[in-house]
Structure 1
């Protein structure tokens, strides 16, 4: 079940890049990001505290953690990744996404005293090798920009820090309440950043691309996928972040279907290595083998009873 949830999360998470590509036809990155977060946060607030009216309000001591999570996971991480698309290619963006588990594992080792097992380390290294292969044509294409690398690095570090911080503070609030305030606070904090960075390049076209992008990003990603993300984080912070290794795999498939981007031998080789890496790190459970072995044990047990 955890494997299916992890794969489903990765599929949805990778679809955000496709929706963003459509949205960028109609507006600038930070305007799109800010609009997405404010709409999602507002709708979540309406549902949680007006329509349902059964969820608790954060206590005074919990507001500090919610503000920090909103700043790290929404304002800095998503704001930085949207903004970085002005400077780097999608391939480089996917490569940077996969660095998150390494940062999380390192921070968890320091803050949470969580051991990094040899199997996890080998799995992450093999998966990372696959992702380097997948993005090698982009890396050697000469279209990289130092600004983009710095911005993406800040974003990935912020998300990893937010993941470890969430595990450390162990908020007792329901996941939907945490996500509501994280998205809403993050969106509000992003408003002045958007104004400063995009005031001279701002444009907004109210068309099909914008509406379709916002509907998917708000309802599927900011609301549904983030609730699933918090659930996975509560199970295991490092393993949850390791699922991000699959993001480029699903990303290539979705990009091929919706954006007509080709899939080459680099992508196929990378897919194989990523799956091997996930298996070694303990993220992929061999469900059917376990079920088969469980069935064999049941048959053997019944046979033994019959013999007796």
Structure 2
């Protein structure tokens, strides 16, 4: 892969992995779906303002509206809605760790339904990255107080995320700008969640203080806009190769959780980083799977 693909992959991994830490900070002051809906409505509205008013990009067509609604339902409402609920019961490190499950799901789904060929190099990368993530996570898993319901919800959200990624790459977008896709699918996802959030809203559980706005605004701009734009670029280039960048997310996630939440960072983490980096390097040498 070219240098731009690698650079965008690194930026994506750092920004996407920061979501778990930002979510834990925001959860100190608000209900999960309040955070999610605020994030999605703000991010979606801003992206649409930029893409249609300032950049003059075209609006979606009739067929594309349906695609955006489906993508928004899976990639925003279900995936991120369930994810933020799951994070009530888990540490930020484990939240980042679960992101590494996605390449497995994406590769398996692509092979089963769309006949992608998985090469020997890709299989090696899969095992190397998996081993790195498990080694880096070991101290956290020993010291964490993860609840079973959180694990179930988290893995469910990851499966939905993988389905959304496959769905996105199989649609014909006819040159629709990625910022337009991101803006509309994010706004739609937030609107789908709004009735659920309103039904469960409890004023006593929402302080809307500095922690809320710090975490939510970080999720809104660097994550929902920056990281998702990077992800859409990676998906367009190569769906399966893009999925390997998800393996780097737990590594950065551990570092951010250590800095901001004082979660453990040990020699296990360093060993995991080396294995993940090696696995990612090999994965970039594989041919594009089509």
8 Å contact from structure 1 (residues 28, 201) kept in 2? no
**Residue 102 of structure 1: how far off its partner (Å):** 0.7
**Equivalent residue for 1:299?**
none
Matching of residues 258-297 of structure 1 within 5 Å: 258-282=260-284
8 Å contact from structure 1 (residues 11, 250) kept in 2? yes
Residues 17/36 of structure 1: CA separation in 2 closer, same or farther (3 Å cut) = same
Establish whether residue 38 from structure 1 lines up as the match of residue 25 from structure 2: no
The one-character-per-residue Cα deviations of 1:204-224 (angstroms, maximum 9, x if unpaired) are 223222222233221211112
Equivalent-residue separation in structure 2 for 1:158 and 1:168 (angstroms): 16
Equivalent-residue separation in structure 1 for 2:158 and 2:147 (angstroms): 17
Establish whether residue 28 from structure 1 lines up as the match of residue 68 from structure 2: no
**Equivalent residue for 1:182?**
185
Residues 132/242 of structure 1: CA separation in 2 closer, same or farther (3 Å cut) = same
Larger Cα Rg: Structure 1 or Structure 2? 1
The one-character-per-residue Cα deviations of 1:1-41 (angstroms, maximum 9, x if unpaired) are 22111111111111222222222222122211111001111
Residues 134/193 of structure 1: CA separation in 2 closer, same or farther (3 Å cut) = farther
**Residue 141 of structure 1: how far off its partner (Å):** 4.6
Establish whether residue 128 from structure 1 lines up as the match of residue 130 from structure 2: yes
Please, which of 73, 92, 95 is the counterpart of residue 97 of structure 2?
Answer: 95
Equivalent-residue separation in structure 2 for 1:95 and 1:43 (angstroms): 30
Unaligned regions of 5+ residues in structure 2, if any? none
The one-character-per-residue Cα deviations of 1:205-258 (angstroms, maximum 9, x if unpaired) are 232222222332212111122111111100011111110101111122222333
**Equivalent residue for 2:15?**
12
**Equivalent residue for 1:248?**
250
**Equivalent residue for 1:194?**
197
Residues 202/167 of structure 1: CA separation in 2 closer, same or farther (3 Å cut) = farther
**Residue 142 of structure 1: how far off its partner (Å):** 7.3
**Equivalent residue for 1:230?**
232
Please, which of 50, 58, 66 is the counterpart of residue 53 of structure 2?
Answer: 50
**Equivalent residue for 1:154?**
156
Equivalent-residue separation in structure 2 for 1:283 and 1:176 (angstroms): 29
8 Å contact from structure 1 (residues 28, 202) kept in 2? no
For this pair of structures, how many residues does the alignment match? 282
Residues 25/146 of structure 1: CA separation in 2 closer, same or farther (3 Å cut) = closer
**Equivalent residue for 1:113?**
115
**Equivalent residue for 1:295?**
none
Identify which range, 261-270 or 156-165, moves more after superposition.
261-270
TM-score w.r.t. length of structure 1: 0.85
Equivalent-residue separation in structure 2 for 1:102 and 1:248 (angstroms): 15
Unaligned regions of 5+ residues in structure 1, if any? 285-308
Residues 211/178 of structure 1: CA separation in 2 closer, same or farther (3 Å cut) = same
Residues 50/153 of structure 1: CA separation in 2 closer, same or farther (3 Å cut) = same
Residues 260/138 of structure 1: CA separation in 2 closer, same or farther (3 Å cut) = closer
Identify which range, 202-211 or 267-276, moves more after superposition.
202-211
**Equivalent residue for 1:305?**
none
